[in-house]
Structure 1
Amino acid sequence: MAARRGRGAAARGRRQARLKSAGIGGGVLLVLLAMFWSAVWPYVTAALLLGGIGTMGWRLWRTNRIVHARDHRWRQGEEVKAGCRTLAEVDAMTGTEFEELVAGLCRRDGCTEVRQVGGSHDNGADVLGRLPDGRTMVVQCKRYAPSSTIASRELRDLLGAQVHFRADVAVFVTTTRFSRPSEKFAVEHGILAVHRDLLGLWNDGASLLSLSRVNGHGQGNSRHRARWKQVYGK
């Protein structure tokens, strides 16, 4: 206890010594300024003016950054709202409209060089582009009834398209779910399998790259799938 009080007293002594030194230094500076004011006042005035201008400039720059950041967040939010469709609306789309939706979501997330290539001679690809990190991607889009499933052969076709277009990443986007073998195949071959549940998250604002963290998960349970079978009668 005594040792602790001794350390406290020593710390207070050091603080008082620093304050005393600062006071003496300030006093000496004021005396020197008074003695040589006629010679130094232009420099002091200039330093104060520059300091004031610098402070004002920094505050304006900081305010501008804050305003731009808020505007950017607002625009992103508006883009998400404008691009959102309910899954029921997505189900009513044609295959081409669904490809356009997927291409638009890719652009929203910062993908570049995005273009639709779907058609009778699409070589297994519907959308091509570059991810925000620069990697090339090939996307296959399948707008199927939610009660159906994606078979492994369709993922094999996408792998062929990835080789054909020399793409770094393959993405399969569908309005339905993947069979267990096809989901396993996707994970084993590095295909990002965007099933109905993940499509809903992506459509609601989640980024495409963030979906890769849950690849192979989240397809709903058997009760969820039974409801869709009852609704669609399949």
Structure 2
Amino acid sequence: MAAQRRRRRMKKRTRRQLQGWGAVVGAGAVVWLAVHWAAVWPVLVAVLAVAVAGGAGWGLWRAHRVAVGRDRQWRAQEEAKARELSMAEVDVLSWQEFETYIAALCRRDGCTKVFVSGRSGDLGADVIGYLADGRKLVIQCKKYAPHRSVSSHDMQKFVGTARPEHGADVALFVTTGHSFTKDALGLAMRQDIVALHRDLLGAWVKGAHLAALLPLNGSGGGTKRRPSN
């Protein structure tokens, strides 16, 4: 019991000492501020101003980021709508008219000696021409419903003829379908075939240049270069 009383007395004494020192330090701080207030207050004001400006700047930056994100999302949605509107005209074409239309896009983008096979048994070469830099371009056109995908079987047939049969420097498979299957796209990548699905075709229809589209699916560069003649 005596030991407990001693410990309680020591705790009380320590607490009173801490309170005393706290009061001394607080009083000293008040005195110091009173003496040096003229020099201190501009610093305090400056710190407060910087804090307020920083908070406002962060808020503006954050609002800007949100606005930019929304603007990008809106633009992407509008571009998708525009592509679909342009594709609506393509969707009503027959497969023969579609091949002729693709040939016209090639000529628009500077291709030369462009012609449409327009017959069965063309071994996958629906449109043939030469790019502006002289490379031979061979195109397979598939006029599919918008919801359809190009299968690996379709891609295999084109791979087997585009270069071996037609000597293509650039082999392009273009479709009005929404996509290529995973296997078809993988084959295109491995065999250096440019695969243009519906969205990329829509961009081409809207005015994107063929040269800008060639690298987007498959490397599409070709390994040979032929002079135009």
Q: Are 1:105 and 1:203, in contact at CA under 8 Å, matched by a contact in 2?
A: yes
Question: Alpha-carbon deviation of 1:169?
Answer: 1.2
For 1:196 and 1:171, how far apart are their aligned partners in 2? 14
Question: Alpha-carbon deviation of 1:112?
Answer: 0.5
Equivalence for 1:86: 86
**Corresponding residue SS for 2:203:** helix
Equivalence for 2:99: 99
Q: Are 2:137 and 2:170, in contact at CA under 8 Å, matched by a contact in 1?
A: yes
For 1:152 and 1:115, how far apart are their aligned partners in 2? 26
- Whichever residue aligns with residue 197 of structure 1, its letter is D
Equivalence for 1:205: 207
Report Cα offsets for 1:131-156 as digits up to 9, x if no partner. Answer: 11100011000110011110111111
2:162 is equivalent to residue 169 of structure 1: no
For 1:213 and 1:126, how far apart are their aligned partners in 2? 21
For 1:97 and 1:155, how far apart are their aligned partners in 2? 22
Bigger Rg, which one: 2
Equivalent in 181, 184, 187 of residue 186 of structure 2: 184
- Whichever residue aligns with residue 143 of structure 2, its letter is R
Question: Alpha-carbon deviation of 1:118?
Answer: 3.0
For 1:181 and 1:160, how far apart are their aligned partners in 2? 16
The answer to which structure, 1 or 2, has the higher relative contact order (CA under 8 A, 6+ apart) is 2
For 1:113 and 1:213, how far apart are their aligned partners in 2? 22
Q: CA RMSD in A?
A: 1.6
Equivalence for 1:75: none
For 1:118 and 1:165, how far apart are their aligned partners in 2? 16
C-alpha change, 1:213 and 1:123, in structure 2 (3 Å) is closer
Report Cα offsets for 1:10-47 as digits up to 9, x if no partner. Answer: xxxxxxxxxxxxxxxxxxxxxxxxxxxxxxxxxxxxxx
- Whichever residue aligns with residue 130 of structure 2, its letter is R
Q: Are 2:194 and 2:215, in contact at CA under 8 Å, matched by a contact in 1?
A: no
TM-score (norm 2): 0.56
Unaligned runs of 5+ in 2: 1-84, 219-229
Aligned length: 133
Report Cα offsets for 1:103-134 as digits up to 9, x if no partner. Answer: 00000000011000131121221000101110
% identical aligned pairs: 48
Q: Note the 1:1-234 alignment, pairs <5 A.
A: 86-162=86-162, 163-176=164-177, 177-215=179-217
- Whichever residue aligns with residue 166 of structure 1, its letter is G
Question: Alpha-carbon deviation of 1:90?
Answer: 0.8
- Whichever residue aligns with residue 159 of structure 1, its letter is V
Unaligned runs of 5+ in 1: 1-84, 217-234
For 2:176 and 2:168, how far apart are their aligned partners in 1? 23
Q: Are 2:170 and 2:193, in contact at CA under 8 Å, matched by a contact in 1?
A: yes
- Whichever residue aligns with residue 169 of structure 1, its letter is V
**Corresponding residue SS for 1:164:** coil
**Corresponding residue SS for 1:110:** coil
Question: Alpha-carbon deviation of 1:204?
Answer: 0.8
Question: Alpha-carbon deviation of 1:188?
Answer: 1.2
